[in-house]
Amino acid sequence: VTFIGGFFGLELPPVNPNGLASIWGVPARSSLTYANARSALAALLTSIRPNTLWLPAYICRSVAQAAEATATPVRYFAVDESLQPDTSALQSAVRPGDMVLAVDYFGRPPGCAFLDFVARRPDLVFVEDACHAADTGVTQWGRWCLRSPRKLVGVPDGGFIVPSAGISEANGSESRPVLDAYEAAFLRFEDEEECCNPRWHDANQRREATEPVSPRRMSRLTRELLERLALGPIADKRHANFRVLADMLDRYKYLPDKDPGFVPLGFPIRLRAALRDKVLTDLIAQGLFPAVHWSDLPSPAAFTTAHGLATELLTLPCDQRYEPIEMERIARVLRETLKRQ
Ligand SMILES: Cc1ncc(COP(=O)(O)O)c(C=O)c1O
């Protein structure tokens, strides 16, 4: 039966045919969407069962969590100071059929050396981790592409693999969504003046800290929002904000390009380790919340370049919520903080 009448659920404006859902290729079947990216990756691993999953030494713990949950053997490969994969080391160590995951760090696709390696090795299974990338500016380079929309836009949950055909029926998600991600999102949304920061921040931290690998599916509201959010204005804002920070913080910028061809996740800066931590504390005290991608790498400490970067990088926000005036404030506060050191 189709019900007619009764109370209104939620009503949303019409779908945008160029919304992120179509640009990112959100799987039409909700059973091929998950509450987060680690669960989508776990479903792919269980479907494909590679002998070995190769991960970059610079990676967030949740990706390693997907491997652990599926008992997939993991090996790590090195990245250099600019986060480019060490393709020559990979070249000699990988075996046909291995899965190799590489990341579009901060939204930027890997450089030519790695993309040439991808083209030369059809015997390997490449996963493009595009969780940081609204739009890399190049076509998908990985056989499979991994996405986590909540890192880029205001949706509470979601994770999927494109094309979704990589995941077998048996590894699909449950039909009932779990709405635990909604508490923090709604608390912040309803707190229009943002005066109850500890409440929603704590709720979000608690949730992120316990985010499991599971067969929970992405919520319908996330899908519906992704169908309505267009990439264009998001990309324009991020580029404009990035340029302001690049102009004002030229000395500290980590990505070389002032006007990148990809949509930036944020504006990463690189500082000496002790200074990075001091700056982070100072900015937070002034209500500015940079992100650390990532302080807690799952790779062995022997990968010294990656572990060094983990102590030195700090990502300033430059996303679509903000205007250049807010970027100027971040840059000013940061410069003043650095001057005091
Ligand atoms: C590059 C990258 N890939 C994958 C993930 C995992 O995403 P999720 O938290 O949706 O499982 C993250 C999370 O931080 C990430 O930064």
Q: Which of 44, 61, 62, 265 to mutate to test the pocket of ligand 1 (most atoms within 8 A of CB)?
A: 62
Which whole number is the average pLDDT over 146-157? 98
Which atom of ligand 1 is least distant from the CA of 66? 11
- Per-residue pLDDT, 277: 95
Taking the centre of ligand 1 as the mean of its atom positions, its distance from the CA of residue 341, in whole angstroms, is 33
Q: What pTM was estimated for this model as a whole?
A: 0.97
Taking the centre of ligand 1 as the mean of its atom positions, its distance from the CA of residue 38, in whole angstroms, is 7
**Residue 187 CB burial class (10 angstroms; 0-12, 13-18, ≥19):** middle
Number of residues that this document lists for the chain: 341
Answer yes or no: is the C-beta of 159 below 6 A from any ligand 1 atom.
yes
Residues 82-130: tens digit of each pLDDT:
999 999 999 999 999 999 999 999 999 999 999 999 999 999 999 999 9
Answer yes or no: is the C-beta of 108 below 6 A from any ligand 1 atom.
no
Using alpha carbons only, give the angle 162, 167, 170 rounded to the nearest 5 degrees: 150
Answer yes or no: is the C-beta of 38 below 6 A from any ligand 1 atom.
yes
In this structure, are residues 44 and 167 in contact, taking their beta carbons and an 8 Å threshold?
A: yes
Answer yes or no: is the C-beta of 315 below 6 A from any ligand 1 atom.
no
Q: Is the pLDDT of residue 341 over 90?
A: no
- Strands 159-162, 144-147: pairing is antiparallel
Residues 217-259: tens digit of each pLDDT:
999 999 999 999 999 999 999 999 999 999 999 999 999 999 9
Q: Which of 33, 39, 63, 103 to mutate to test the pocket of ligand 1 (most atoms within 8 A of CB)?
A: 63
**Letter string b/e over residues 251-279, b meaning 16 or more CB atoms within 10 A of that residue's CB:** ebbbbeeeebebbbbbbbbebeeeebbbb
Answer yes or no: is the C-beta of 222 below 6 A from any ligand 1 atom.
no
Answer yes or no: is the C-beta of 129 below 6 A from any ligand 1 atom.
yes
Which atom of ligand 1 is least distant from the CA of 38? 11
**Residue 233 CB burial class (10 angstroms; 0-12, 13-18, ≥19):** exposed
Taking the centre of ligand 1 as the mean of its atom positions, its distance from the CA of residue 198, in whole angstroms, is 23
Identify the band that residue 340 occupies on the pLDDT scale cut at 50, 70 and 90: confident
Phi, psi of 63 (to 5 degrees): -70, -45
Identify the band that residue 262 occupies on the pLDDT scale cut at 50, 70 and 90: very high
- Per-residue pLDDT, 270: 98
Please, what sign has the CA dihedral across residues 74, 76, 77, 83? positive
**H/E segment holding residue 185:** helix 182-190
Q: Which of 44, 144, 151, 313 to mutate to test the pocket of ligand 1 (most atoms within 8 A of CB)?
A: 151
Q: Which of 131, 132, 157, 216 to mutate to test the pocket of ligand 1 (most atoms within 8 A of CB)?
A: 131
Taking the centre of ligand 1 as the mean of its atom positions, its distance from the CA of residue 234, in whole angstroms, is 20
- Per-residue pLDDT, 177: 84
Q: Which residue's alpha carbon is nearest to atom 7 within ligand 1?
A: 37
How is the beta sheet containing 33-34 ordered, strand by strand? 33-34, 159-162, 144-147, 125-129, 99-103, 53-56, 74-77
Q: Is the pLDDT of residue 37 over 90?
A: yes
- Per-residue pLDDT, 178: 86
Residues 158-212: tens digit of each pLDDT:
999 999 999 999 999 999 888 999 999 999 999 999 999 999 999 999 999 999 9
**Rounded-to-integer distance, Cα 1 and Cα 19, Å:** 30
